[in-house]
Each structure stands twice: as structure tokens, then as C-alpha cells.
Amino acid sequence: MKLLQNKVAELFENGTINLMIGFKEALTKQPVPCFIEKASEIEQLIYTKDCKNNLSVYLHKPEVKQAGKIGILANIATLRALVQLTSENQFWDIEKTVLTVNDKEEVIVFSDMEEVEAYVQANFPEFSEEDLKLLDYLESLSREDRWKYWTEQFSACIKCYACRAVCPMCYCPQCTVECNQPQWIKTSAQTTGNLEWHIMRAMHLAGRCINCGECGRICPVGIPVHLLTVKMNQDLFKEFGTKSGFALKGDYALNSFKPDDKEGFIK
Amino acid sequence: MEIKTITSANIPVFFNNLVKSGKVVVAPVLKKSGKVFFESVQSYDQVSTDYIQTAFSAKSVVFPEVEELFSYTKKEDGDFEFRNDMSNVPETVIWGLRPCDSSAFNYLTDFFLKENPDTYFKLRKERTTLISVSCAKADAACFCTSVGLNPGNVTGSDILLTAMGDSYYVEISTEKGKSVIDTALFTDSTEKSKEEFLAKVETKFSMDEIRERIQTAYDSAEWKHESMGCLGCGACAFSCPTCTCFDIQDEGSQESGKRLRCWDACGFGQFTRHASGHNPKSNQTARRRQRLMHKFKYSVENFGIVSCVGCGRCIRVCPAHLNIFENILNVTKA
Amino acid sequence: MDKENKYIPYRVRIAKKTQESSNIQTYRLEFVDEKDAENFSFRSGQFCEYGVPGEGESTFCIASPDTRKGYVECTFRTTGRVTAALANCEENDIISLRGPFGNAFPIEQWYGKNVVFVTGGIALPPLRCVIDTLLDQREKFGEISVYYGAKNVEELTYKAELEEWAARGDMNLFITVDPGGETPEWKNFIGFVPTILEQNPPKSDNAVAVIAGPPILIKLGMPILAKSGFPNDQIYTTLENRMKCGVGKCGHCTVGKTYVCKDGPVFTYEEVLGMPLEY
Ligand code: SF4
Ligand code: SF4
Ligand code: SF4
Ligand code: SF4
Ligand code: FES
């Protein structure tokens, strides 16, 4: 911890950053996001395996952007998000310094996004065991039962949009659910509208989702929303060999076109 | 107030009798996700007894996520027919809500009925009986004692049950409460006090100090820092027992359909946005401030009630884990 | 609104549709049900929720004076889904109406005084209602002055009315368009409303001022009026926050602890000064 804190103190001192996004321990003992603006707050900073939040989402936030020079303590999911977002031409308007703590508890300060990319490629995470197990189970169901499973799950959704709020890839200033000319998606939290919302979200994230699992983790109702995009990513890898958050100049199946595309409808 | 006792063994009998009487009984149920939710249940075996607080409050019984205000049909001559029928709203018992939640019902009642009484809430509230259960356990997010409540507080409940080993201490506050008691199961109370069976909840702040300092807190420089983590979702407002904001939306065609009111939240960026694009609460700092000021200042000015009951839900549910009592302490710092 | 259920609307028929400009229209609305017509009464300054079932509701003030009974008028600009649906309606179509909501201008307190109106863009409607109420009992008031501006000539609403007012000869009119918004024939003022107001300050003795318009105009205009001598409690405005319910429940319209829909929309500058800048 000291190592990390000293490093961050150094970054503040030499003017590299004026805001550090990291983790601290909450009164409830779990690690939660923290925002350090003053040197005196640096001692709150922690990093453990339980630091799950994908902090890259904050780099979209106007209040954060205002700081201009931002340090971000990134877990592997956050690093992947940064790679993906860079490939989507985000973050042109801020100066960011990316830090991580590796398995050997060494603090790494990346000097540029290429280094982040290399680190991500060397440490590319697998899909989580737990997710794969649940997906296997769902695949084993009949189409009708699978539909039933998701209908039941989504009928409990209250449309708090927390899944969208925590997602670093959901950065549209006006989400499709908020468009009402025409009204694509019913706004009331009822089964049909909920399904529409989640199908739409899954499609917008197909091949862009970097599998941090935040949406499923924080859903107050406990819906495993993240499985939809995990599944999409699996299929995209199988069919097109693409991986999200892997390369700065990535090729994403849903926004690239090749004359030899295997899908006939596109030609 | 009437005090009675019921043996723990008779609690399921009492509960199942409520179900048998034809009332809808809504009680805490443990779901596969590990979270506890209020749900309509058929028998006491389904009821969770080992929980600190439900993930969501029970306000949806009187203020549903989606309420049909009326349905409409356009007739051939172009005129409309508007229909609203609430006759089948069932008599409902909410079982197992915590004392903080029942006291939240007092605020809701003032809010919805004092001025421009709300037809929908009024009817639902009339048909709802609250049987609360005192807290034997609390967690780090609980802070009822800081807002003038406590784990055994009776306000708002029709009946408050407190588990005392092999019996329950029963406090019946209203006629409605009396009407659901079946006398055979209840005896006049013992001399024992319920206090020792209640959770100990440490006070996080003194409401007297906050009440004074909140007067000038609007301009505090701390809001920005305190709300930096806020991502602008609806989780805190939707889980909160005293949040009342809603949106009105039509679903259907211009020929027929329904006008609905749906929960909304002041944390959403679109909440206050004008059609012109101008947004009076233009950033998340302003929106987070609205939430806290509403709970601790505006509702006091409008209704004489601090509308945060200290249930801690918004803390547990927040994806960024914003902590309302830390926030309020920091923005009212001297 | 006397109805017990505040959410069930009245049915009203569009008796007359006037296209004020390409995207601004005025509707005269008459109640389908005669009983509703009898029960419905309002005061100048109040607003309603106008709706097309299936599309939703939109908030506009009542633009006709409360001295003229049996109908209400509203003027609105097409900006979104609901206003587009409303604008698509034709004469004789039936739409929904809830209201009247909110407080009103205390016109009785203005008897014997000079009244100054300041407004811009699509905000003439809330004041047109008051102006016409005053004109219907012209003898009870002193001088009536109107400062009104729009982006360009096309966007000036109530052109016919403006001509009528000018023809009466018993009003001081300062009609202006933003620089660049004038046409070759334009003979009136050119400049933003606050500028015209500063250059031609209204007399503030024995006078009240009423200002309405986009939030920026209100924020800039109120201090100018105060500076020209109007006491803070004699400057009135009407605020237009986003509204859904109209009855102080949905939470959209709040400015601090104040609900614009039920505590307003009419406020004095003194009251506004006590509120946070959330409008
Ligand atoms: S976080 Fe959960 S409840 Fe909220 S919108 Fe997403 S899926 Fe629905
Ligand atoms: S405080 Fe937390 S739960 Fe509430 S809007 Fe902000 S991020 Fe969502
Ligand atoms: S603001 Fe938070 S702690 Fe207070 S009543 Fe609402 S959910 Fe509970
Ligand atoms: S304004 Fe915000 S805090 Fe207040 S009731 Fe509405 S959602 Fe809750
Ligand atoms: S419009 Fe609903 S509270 Fe004011």
C-alpha cells in the first residue's frame, strides 16, 4: 500500500496529475471508489483483489474531466476498458495517467496507451468460471425455457439504469431509451419494455463490452445482465476471432466491413 | 396502544391465518441472488427471518413502480373515454418491514395526502396494514438512531412485533392493527421489556447539529467532492422508502392505451431537463445535492419531517457506494 | 382543479387553430362536456397540462384572459414528441386537458398602478393572458407598457394582437428583434430585450413589473428592473420548470423546497432571490 501511495504522492508533487481516481475502504469494509484531490487524502488509497469497480467509467464524467490531469488506478478490466475506449476515440480531451498493481504487488505507471495495450495482451483475462457455468446451464435449456429464464429475470428489472451508469462503454450523451421521437423502447418498468431495453443494450455492447461484469455485479435486483454480452463476445470470438479491449486499433465485428465477410446479408 | 404477547410457535399460525383471511400478504423473501425482497407469499415457510434489511423498501405496495392512472379509448366521433377502476386493489398486509420503514410510511402519507390528496395512494394506503418486526441486528449502513428513530420505534406501524426468544412482544397501535389480531393467539403482555432484544445502532451524527448547519449547506464547497463518485442512476431513489418522484408516460397508440406513472429519480440527468435543452440541475453534483437537501432540509421545511429514515439502503445499493451519512456530515462540516 | 382525481383529464375540442409562425400555434379549446365548462374556472397566470393520449402531456400557461369565459387558449412551440402531436391536430379534434394548476398574478392589487411587461420569444403567451385581462378592464390601471422581443420577425407571436395593441393608442409598446433578426420593412427596435429595457427604462413609481421568458431573460431582467427602482416585491415573474403532475408530487419542477407547479408559477423577485438558481 505504501508503495502505491508514495507513487501517487510523487505524481501529485511533480504535477503529473491533479485528481487521482482509486479505491479506499468504506465503513462497511469493502473497497469503494475514491477521488483524491489533495495530498492529505492519499493515505486512504488501497488496492486489493477485491477492488472490482471499473473506474474508467468516471473518465466520461464532466466533473472528473474538469480536473484535466487525471490519475486512474486500474484493475485489468479497467485497463481493457481503456484500450477499447481509446480505440473508439474517446478521451481525446483529457490527460490521463494509468496505474496498476500487478500480481507481484508492484506498482506500474504506464507511460502511454501502447504500454497498457501490451500489458493487457500479456495478462488477458479469461471469461469467469462462474459465468461460463451459468451460460452452459442456460445453453442446456430448451429455447422456451431459456426465454422463460430471461423473461422472469427481466420482469424484476426496475429500470434504475445502474447497469448503464456503471458501464464504461455506455457513454452516449442520450441513450436510445431516452429517445422518444419515435419512442423505441417503452419507459415503464414492465416485462416487454424491460426486455426491449436489455436486448437493445446487449446489441449496442456486442463486441464492445469488455466483460468487467460490473452491470451484473451492481444490479440491485440481482439480474445477471452481464451474461448477455459475455455470450455475445464468446460468439463473436468464435465466428470472427475478435476480442474487445484487446487492441488499440481493434477490428470489431459489428462496426467493420470486409468484402469477404462470412455473413451473406451484408454484401 | 395495546401490548400483548404471542409465542414464537404461534407466529406462523398468525401469519398463515392472515393469508387465509383472503388478504394479500407481502413479506421478505430470500432470493437466489442472496438478496431479500418483499413479495406476496402464501405461507410462513417462505418468509425470511434472517435479514438486516430488504434490498428495496415496501413502498411499492402503496406507490407501485408502475401505476395505471387511467386507460383511454378514442371513440369513432373522435371523443375520448377515460377509465380508471381501482376496485380490485386488494386488502394487503405488509409483514416484516423494519421500524425505519414503517416510519417512512408516515412521511409518505403526509406527502401524498396533506395537500392535493392523491387518489391512488389514498386507496392503497387505506387497504394496507403494516405489521413490522423490530431489528435484532444492524449493519454498518444502518443509522436510524441518527435521524431520531430506533430499532424498536413504533411510529407508522399498525402492529410492531419484537422477537424475545420464545415469544414476541406485540405493540398494537391502531384499530386496523387490532382488527387483524386473532385473540386466541395473543395473551396480555408479560412484564419483560423489549429493549434488550433490540439491535444496538451507533449514532453517526447528531441531527440537532445537522439541522442547524444544513441551512447554509447548499453553498458548501464539498458537494463536488462528495458526489464525485455518483454515476446518476436510479438505484438510491428506487430503493429508498421515502422517495416519491415519478414520471408520467403514455403507453399504447393514439386510439387506445394507458397513462402510467412510473418511478423516476432526481439523480437522472434528464430529470429536470427542459424541452429547450436548458437544465436547471445541470450536473451530477447539483443532482446529488438535491437528494440530500430534500431528505434533510426541504422535507423538514415542507412537512416537518426529516425524510431520511436511516435504513441504509441507498448506501448498500449504490454502485459507487456513496454514503449518505458521510456525505451529510462532510457538507455540514463547520 | 376541483376534480378529486387530479390525473383524469377533461376532454376539450380545438375550436380554433391559429398558426402564429411555422412552429408556433395557438389553440382555442372548448370543453366537450358542458358540465366541465361550467365547473372550470381559472385566474390569469395559471397553467394546464395539454395532452394527446398515446403521446403524453405538455405544460403551457393559459394564454387567454380570465375575464373571457367558456374557453381556454394556449400557445406553444413544437419542440418534442408531445408538442409535435399536438401541433398535428386539426380544428375539431379532441385533446386532453388537466388543470388549472398553480397560483395566479394578484391583479386586484395592481388597480390604479402602472404595469410594465417584459418578455421574450415564446413567453408572450403567459403575459398575453394578463395583458388582455388588464385591457378588458383598462380603466382600472395606469400606464401599460410592453417590452417584447423575439429572435426574428417570424418568431414574434400574436402579430395581429400586437397590431391591435398598437392601434389602441393607450399602451407603450417596445417591440424588438435580436440583431440580425430584422426584415427590411422592420420599423421597431433592434436589440436584445435587456438592452432595450436598459436604454428605455420604465418609470418605476407606483408601478409593478412583470417579466416572463427563458430563464436567462428572467435572470438578467429582474436585476435591471430592480435597478430602475421597482421594489423587489413589485417585480413578478412566472417560472417554467419541467413539469409532469402539476400538483406538487412528481418532483420534476422543484427549485429548492419550492414546487413551481403548486407554489408558483408566479413569484415575486423577492421570493426568487430566496431560492437557489434551479430554474
Ligand atoms: S441495474 Fe438491474 S434493475 Fe437496474 S436497470 Fe439494470 S438490470 Fe434493471
Ligand atoms: S448515489 Fe449511487 S445509487 Fe444514487 S444515483 Fe449516484 S451512483 Fe446511483
Ligand atoms: S436516503 Fe437512504 S438511508 Fe435514507 S431513507 Fe432513503 S434509502 Fe434509507
Ligand atoms: S427529489 Fe430525489 S431525493 Fe427527493 S424524493 Fe425525488 S428522487 Fe427522492
Ligand atoms: S410538476 Fe410535479 S411536482 Fe411540480
What is the pLDDT tens value at each position of chain C, 279 positions in all? 457 899 999 999 999 999 888 888 999 999 999 888 888 999 999 999 999 999 999 999 998 888 888 899 999 989 889 999 999 999 999 999 998 999 999 999 999 999 999 998 777 888 888 998 999 999 999 999 999 998 888 888 888 888 888 898 899 999 999 998 888 888 889 999 888 888 888 888 899 999 998 888 889 889 989 988 999 999 999 998 999 999 999 999 999 999 999 998 999 999 999 999 889
Question: Residue B185's Cα: distance from chain center in Å?
Answer: 29
DSSP A169: T
Nearest chain C Cα distance for residue A68, angstroms: 27
Q: At what angle do helices B119-126 and B99-113 cross, to 10 degrees?
A: 140
| CB A189, CB A217: distance < 8 Å | no
pLDDT at A267 over 70: no
List chains touching C (3+ CB pairs under 8 A): A, B
What is the percent of chain B where pLDDT is above 90? 82
List chains touching A (3+ CB pairs under 8 A): B, C
What ipTM was estimated for this complex? 0.92
Q: What is the pLDDT of residues B167-179, one digit of tens each?
A: 999 999 999 999 9
Nearest CA in chain C to B291: C256
> In testing the pocket of ligand 5, which one of C245, C258, C263, C278 has its CB within 8 Å of the most ligand atoms?
C245
Q: What is the pLDDT of residues C97-145, one digit of tens each?
A: 998 999 999 999 999 999 999 998 777 888 888 998 999 999 999 999 9
pLDDT at A42 over 80: yes
Residue A153 to residues A224, B41, B204, B318: CA-CA distances in angstroms?
Answer: 8, 19, 37, 20
| Residue type at position A20 | M
**HSE-up of residue C99 (Cα within 13 Å, Cβ side):** 34
Closest-lying ligand 3 atom to the alpha carbon of residue B312: 3
pLDDT tier, B194 (very low <50, low <70, confident <90, very high otherwise): confident
Average pLDDT over residues B296-301: 95
pLDDT tier, A71 (very low <50, low <70, confident <90, very high otherwise): very high
Q: Give residue C138's pLDDT.
A: 92
A 10 A CB-CB count for B166 gives 8
Q: Give residue B191's pLDDT.
A: 67
Q: Which of B33, B36, B201 should be substituted to probe chain A, the one whose Cβ sees the most A Cβ atoms within 10 Å?
A: B33
Report how far residue A79's alpha carbon sits from residue A113's, in angstroms, rounded to the nearest whole number. Answer: 9
pLDDT at A1 over 80: no
| CB C6, CB C247: distance < 8 Å | yes
Is the model's pTM score more than 0.90? yes
The CA B245 to ligand 5 mean position distance, Å, reads 9
Closest-lying ligand 4 atom to the alpha carbon of residue B240: 8
Q: Which of B59, B68, B80, B300 should be substituted to probe chain C, the one whose Cβ sees the most C Cβ atoms within 10 Å?
A: B80
Q: What is the pLDDT of residues B214-235, one digit of tens each?
A: 999 999 999 999 999 999 999 9
User: Facing residues of C77 across strands?
Assistant: C24
Q: Give residue C213's pLDDT.
A: 87
Domain ranges of chain C: 10-101, 107-238
Average pLDDT over residues B76-83: 93
E strands in B118-185: 128-133, 159-164, 167-172
- Residue ranges around ligand 4 (CB below 6 Å): B 237, 243-245, 265-266, 290-291, 294; C 251
Q: At what angle do helices A191-205 and A226-240 cross, to 10 degrees?
A: 40
Retrieve residue C47's grid coordinates.
397553467
pLDDT at A250 over 80: no
pLDDT tier, A27 (very low <50, low <70, confident <90, very high otherwise): confident
Residue B304 to residues A128, B294, B299, C233, C250: CA-CA distances in angstroms?
Answer: 51, 12, 7, 27, 19
| CB B150, CB B201: distance < 8 Å | yes
The CA A189 to ligand 1 mean position distance, Å, reads 10
pLDDT tier, A94 (very low <50, low <70, confident <90, very high otherwise): confident
Q: Check CB contact under 8 Å for C214 and B247.
A: no
Concatenated DSSP letters of C191-210: S-HHHHHHHSPPP-TTEEEE
Residue A65 to residues A21, A57, A137, A242, B146: CA-CA distances in angstroms?
Answer: 12, 11, 42, 31, 35
Query: C107-238: what fold?
Result: Rossmann fold (3.40.50)
Domain ranges of chain B: 2-331
Q: Give residue A265's pLDDT.
A: 67
Residue B205 to residues B148, B268, B305: CA-CA distances in angstroms?
Answer: 10, 28, 17
Q: Which of B63, B71, B72, B214 should be substituted to probe chain C, the one whose Cβ sees the most C Cβ atoms within 10 Å?
A: B72
The CA B35 to ligand 1 mean position distance, Å, reads 14
pLDDT at B132 over 70: yes
- Architecture field, domain C10-101: Beta Barrel (2.40)
B322 lines ligand 3 (CB under 6 A): no
Q: Give residue C266's pLDDT.
A: 95
